[in-house]
Structure 1
């Protein structure tokens, strides 16, 4: 058995997985405020599992810049984990082999383990949520880059706002929370916190919702197209809660195709299909364990 740990800014999810990736047990609790509380709570659950099962190793998914040795240069909104080597800390406390992966990478590589990208060697994965993260998978492996920062698609510039360059980023134009919802609320004067409300209003004929969504889909498609022409993936997998919305996926695919048709150099080329991720809330757990298994297989060789 393996234990997968998905550390998020608001909650921590822990799962018990078998060799084939089947989830045998799952636990969820709010993310504590201090490093010691976070690690102690995780270790307690792992210890409980150890009394019932033989635990081979632990895979951890965590936000931020994760170095190969498990050092967290950053950890997203979890400030108390900045600057620690969580792999070493957890290995000492559990006595088990530990592997650590960036959360977007984990969610992305999970799709190779029975998900949307099974048997696909080269693909692009985006997680569209508060911001936009993701990864490039090349020859069945995550491409990390020289500084473990590959896949930070949200930092890409989609245009050039000289008053505030941050507003030109993919995060602030094409993410669900700081992109779509922020822009709609700014224009409407409301405080909508669920993107489904905007889609419902668009379907009911509201002009503002329709125009904001049209630009949102085009900007997201633009970012995807930019990466696709550089990387040439076989598939684009979209994750995040919004990926379950069929209208979102349909409109994104249409915007993506429209951009290709407008681009004279690309109009006759075959471009990768955009597909929704299979794994949603469990992606971090599954991906942490799959990444762990890949690492163990390499070390055994």
Structure 2
């Protein structure tokens, strides 16, 4: 790390829905950002990354680039092996983009990037054993122990979102069925609403039954916040599944802290209390052991970009 280099770094958050980029200072401050829809082909996605960076370089002089990717990376973080919601398959993304943009590039899992941002600049500062639970299009997760990201033997740990909670259940983009993220993620909200809604309902229920393709997760959250019966039922179901997921994490890892991040966490006030209640009742030894503190990330949707930009700075 070149501590004397005052230049900012650029962090990308490349998710299944949006590709976002931010210029980040050494203090973790976002001073500029851009966003666009995530393309569905490899060529278009990499062209988009280069284009966003070129636009930011018009007014900024970044020293390095970090890519937070929603997918499996190799242990050296050179290759995107598989990404359920992205087109890369066994792709040497780091080297390919570094050659195109002419700057050092750091590749990191998106949840790890957000967790690092929270650990360095947000709600997890000083935490020892803790878990980041990123609830967005899918579910990403990170385990950190004493300031180190735990990656497992092959660089893919921990994939809590793809634990099977309903054998033979909803089909998942990862190739399995019944994964946790198919019941407790942004995309799961619409599936649950479709299962609960009928055309005889009022409000959200009727809209989902008649025009499912037009309904968004944001609309479901808004409906729940406004007291809509179907919206509230969807959020109750979501909270129950999320609580069960948090209970599994607690049973296996016994963390002191679990932070909820990702886009869905912005509406955590609608479900966090119910999820914590479900977690408390579902863990082994319920009522006779300490519970982890469950909270929300402080850096919001910028966490992944801030974290991976800081990791990129560390590689300068």
Question: Does TM, normalized by the shorter one, top 0.5?
Answer: yes
Deviation readout 1:117-148 (Å, 9 max, x if unpaired)? 11112211111223222111122121111222
SS of corresponding position for 2:131:
strand
- 1:258 aligns to what? 281
Distance in 2, Cα, partners of 1:137 & 1:278? 17
- 1:184 aligns to what? 193
SS of corresponding position for 1:60:
strand
Alignment of 1:175 onto 2:197: no
Deviation readout 1:202-256 (Å, 9 max, x if unpaired)? x45x3x6555543432221121111112112110001122222212122222222
Distance in 2, Cα, partners of 1:217 & 1:32? 31
Deviation at 1:72, TM superposition (A): 0.9
Deviation readout 1:69-104 (Å, 9 max, x if unpaired)? 32011133221x322211101221222211001112
- Sort the Cα spacing of 1:210 and 1:69 in 2 relative to 1 into closer, same or farther, 3 A: closer
Structure 2 residue corresponding to 1:62, chosen from 52, 62, 69: 69
Distance in 1, Cα, partners of 2:282 & 2:237? 12
- 1:299 aligns to what? none
Distance in 2, Cα, partners of 1:3 & 1:163? 37
Distance in 1, Cα, partners of 2:233 & 2:61? 55
Deviation at 1:4, TM superposition (A): 0.9
The two structures have a TM-score, normalised by structure 1, of 0.84
Distance in 2, Cα, partners of 1:280 & 1:112? 13
CA contact (8 A) 1:61 1:102 kept: yes
- 1:275 aligns to what? 295
SS of corresponding position for 1:108:
helix
Alignment of 1:117 onto 2:124: yes
What does 1:72-83 correspond to in 2, within 5 Å?
Answer: 72-79=80-87, 81-83=88-90
Give the alignment's Cα RMSD to 1 decimal.
2.7
- 2:224 aligns to what? 199
- 1:284 aligns to what? 304
Structure 1 segments unaligned to the other structure (5+ residues): 297-301
Alignment of 1:140 onto 2:151: no
Distance in 2, Cα, partners of 1:247 & 1:47? 39
Which stretch has the larger CA shift, 160-169 or 141-150?
160-169
Distance in 1, Cα, partners of 2:53 & 2:185? 34
Distance in 2, Cα, partners of 1:31 & 1:267? 45
Structure 2 segments unaligned to the other structure (5+ residues): 1-7, 199-208
The two structures have a TM-score, normalised by structure 2, of 0.80
CA contact (8 A) 1:167 1:173 kept: no
